[in-house]
Amino acid sequence: MKRTRRRTFRIIAMLLATTVAFSVQSGCTWFRLKPKAPTPAHTQPKPPSKTVERKPVRAIWVTRYDFATADDVRKIISNCASAGFNTILFQVRGNGTVSYPSQIEPWAEQFDHTSPGYDPLALAIEEAHRYGLAIEAWVNVMPAWRGPNEPTTHNQLYFTHPEWFWYDPMGRRQPLNHTAGGKSRGWYVSLNPCLPEVRNYLVSVFHELVSRYDIDGLHMDYIRFPNESVVPGERIPDYPRDARTLELFHRHTRQNPDQNPQAWNHWRTNQVTQLVADIHTMIKRTKPRIKLTAAVGSVRQSGLTHFQDAQRWMQDGIVDTVYLMNYTSSPPKFAQRLQPWMTVQGKAAVVPGLSITDTLEPKPASEIATEQINIAVNTTQNFAVFAYSTLFGSPNKTFAKQSQTEQKKRTIRRDVIIPRIQSLARDN
């Protein structure tokens, strides 16, 4: 009997050793996606509720243009707390430049690429936590510069890693300025997430944030291909077509994009998903309490045209929360777009985002926004407002006007919308 047991133990030990050796030899730095076997329809579990055992989220997006001085940051946090918000999405990375002292990327152009004499993110975290608010570092993931002009600092990605950007089939780099039909507009030029070195670089940028700052979440925006038309009538090339990307695709499929466009689209979508998975793994290894959240399109099929499959991220458990950019002035459409997200498998929370339209007079637009807040709360308990500058004055002259007329509009919006948010804060 003893001899049999010893033999059994030796066999088990040998199997374990073989498994460990194989794991070490075949391991990788971050999470590696695996194909999921489909679950038979008759055995699929009931989708979990998206509203149970979670603190309701009342969030607001604060752009990088909304603050310049330390007093601006303090005022932002105070205004958000007084209005009844409990979560601030505070933008600190726009296009390969940042609003905190980094060892990797230069200071943002809003600060002339030099230190403003304080750390906006550290101050925002200190103030938010003093008021009992959660704060997430909002980062634009793919954009690496914004046109129409080149960066004025030469330690910026546009100059240091030109090979990481998008190139068309003719070898031309994605333009800083877009022109069509007599119209012209500068826009983002983006990093190529199909390149493993780009994904590793982005993980390192976000690791610096996660490891150094007491943030409550990392909030990803532009976690997709920004391949939409910038000016009406413009035709966007099929990016990226650089030689290295094509070689990686061919290595995976033994084809080129023109031979199998469906496989090409699927492969590009998988590269974005792989980046999300890598960031998620980094966070769980570095500071597991921090949430990974993402701003995503509210219509899945539309998101897939930008190679963003947020519902898969939810199913795979690689995001903690999705913020739906559900921007419409139609409350019925707003409600209809939420429904497909409520039945997605997984534990990720859903936070419907709404935008206060400027195409209507401020009072009816604010009433629509309030109705959408009610729809969002009744469906998910959560909502997020885009953006701070629609409710409060700020130094933001890039995406918001600061005239007396606009300030009066903000006053009307606050008078209609904020009492509802404050009542929700009291109820919770």
State pLDDT tens for residues 142-178. 999 999 999 999 999 999 999 999 999 999 999 999 9
Cβ burial, residue 1 (10 Å; 0-12/13-18/19+):
exposed
> What's the pLDDT at 47?
38
Q: Hey, what are 205's tokens? A: 């940028």
Picking from 267, 262, 268, the residue whose alpha carbon sits closest to that of residue 225 is 268
- Collapsing DSSP to helix, strand or coil, 136 comes out as strand
- Distance CA(43)–CA(262), nearest Å, equals 29
Is pLDDT of 25 > 80? no
State which amino acid sits at residue 251: R
| Percent of the chain's residues with pLDDT above 70 | 87
pLDDT at 396: 76
Q: How high is the pLDDT of residue 399? A: 65
Distance CA 22, CA 7 (A): 23
Mind listing the domains of the chain with CATH numbers?
52-427 (3.20.20.80)
Start-to-end CA distance of the chain, whole Å, equals 64
User: What six digits make up the tokens of 366?
Assistant: 């604010």
Determine the pLDDT at residue 38: 35
Measured distance CA(366)–CA(418) in Å, rounded: 10
pLDDT of residue 404: 87
H or E stretch covering 59 = strand 58-62
What pLDDT score was predicted for residue 16?
37
pLDDT one-digit tens code per residue, 321-359: 999 999 999 999 999 999 999 999 999 999 999 999 888
C-alpha 291/C-alpha 283 separation (Å) is 8
Residues 191/267, Cβ–Cβ less than 8 Å = no
Q: Is the pLDDT of residue 17 over 90?
A: no
pTM (2 d.p.): 0.88
Task: Answer yes or no: is pLDDT of 109 > 50.
Answer: yes
DSSP, collapsed to helix, strand or coil, labels residue 186 as strand
Is 129's pLDDT higher than 80? Answer: yes
Q: What is the 8-class DSSP label of residue 233?
A: T
In 201-302 the beta strands, taken as DSSP E runs, fall at: 217-221, 291-297
Predicted local distance difference test score (pLDDT) of residue 52: 42
Query: How many other CB atoms are there within 10 angstroms of residue 217's CB atom?
Result: 22
Residues 244-300: pLDDT tens digits? 999 999 999 999 999 999 999 999 999 999 999 999 999 999 999 999 999 999 999
